Amino acid sequence: MIRLDKIQKKYDLGDTEVAALHEVSFEITAGEFVAIMGPSGSGKSTLMNIIGILDNATGGTYYLEDYDITALPDKEQARIRNTHFGFIFQSFNLFPELSAMENVMLPMSYAGVAYNERKKRAAELLDQVGLSHRMSHLPTMLSGGEQQRVAIARALSNKPNLILADEPTGNLPTDKGQEVLDILTDLHKQGTTIVMVTHNDAQGEMAQRVINIRDGLLASEVRR
């Protein structure tokens, strides 16, 4: 499904350059649950941003299904991003002025889904994450765990094949983090591919494969 071939990322800071990834190569098969682990600053989020086409590599080739992502124009990259990926971030990244329902509806409006269908699906997804009683709440009226569940519902709105979760439990207490992990585990059982960055060894053990990143390099891989 995904193949990274010698992916590099250099951030150009004018007079200096930060080499965040050096020739990282690996594959992810459809249906896998992969954890990405490594110290702070090792390049995990950089890698996730490239996989999710939120950012472009500065070297190497990224294949997603039959597409060479690195060779595609921005517009085509955006289309693939919106149709293939669901994103879950550590800091939830909800729009503060939109209700839970409106946040979940938003990606569907980018994808051209009709209003009534958006509303129906958003209600179903919020129900699925246990928030049918909080649909009209603004993010500030929700707990952290509830906000992250809205973000998961939003990530699922366009029926993605692949969920990218960058420390999805990083800002949650253990019990609320477990709720988020349970939802991700269920999605994986239903066939969704999951790539999750985590600092937590126990969470890494839930994945079928752990990719360890150190200093922008793939340091080791563990398969279960």
Ligand X SMILES: Nc1ncnc2c1ncn2[C@@H]1O[C@H](COP(=O)(O)OP(=O)(O)OP(=O)(O)O)[C@@H](O)[C@H]1O
Q: Which does 20 bind (CB under 5 to 8 A by kind): ligand X, Mg ion, none?
A: ligand X
Q: What is the chain's alpha carbon radius of gyration, rounded to the nearest angstrom?
A: 17
* CA angle (161 as vertex; 155, 162 as ends), nearest 5: 65
Q: Which SS3 state, helix, strand or coil, does residue 195 take?
A: strand
Residues that bind Mg ion (CB under 5 A): 45
> Cβ closer to ligand X: 54 or 80?
54
Cβ 166 to Mg ion shortest distance, Å = 6
> Cβ closer to ligand X: 103 or 212?
212
> Cβ closer to ligand X: 11 or 95?
11
Structure tokens at 209: 């494969």
Give the distance from CA 111 to its chain's centroid: 18
Q: Which does 115 bind (CB under 5 to 8 A by kind): Mg ion, ligand X, none?
A: none
Cβ 36 to ligand X shortest distance, Å = 9
Cβ 13 to ligand X shortest distance, Å = 6
Count of beta carbons in the 10 Å neighbourhood of residue 60? 18
**Residue with the CB atom nearest Mg ion in the bound state:** 45
> Cβ closer to ligand X: 41 or 59?
41
Q: Which does 212 bind (CB under 5 to 8 A by kind): Mg ion, ligand X, none?
A: none
Q: Please, what is the end-to-end C-alpha distance for the chain in angstroms? A: 19
Phi–psi pair at 194, nearest 5 degrees = -125, 130
* CA angle (61 as vertex; 48, 5 as ends), nearest 5: 80
Q: Which does 46 bind (CB under 5 to 8 A by kind): ligand X, Mg ion, none?
A: ligand X
Does an H or E element contain 103, and which? Answer: helix 100-110
Cβ 90 to ligand X shortest distance, Å = 8
Instruction: Check: CB of residue 119 under 8 Å from CB of residue 140.
Output: no
> Cβ closer to ligand X: 40 or 174?
40
Q: Which does 147 bind (CB under 5 to 8 A by kind): ligand X, Mg ion, none?
A: none
Residues that bind ligand X (CB under 6 A): 11, 13, 18, 20, 38, 40-46
Write down the residue that tokens 């919106």 correspond to: 82
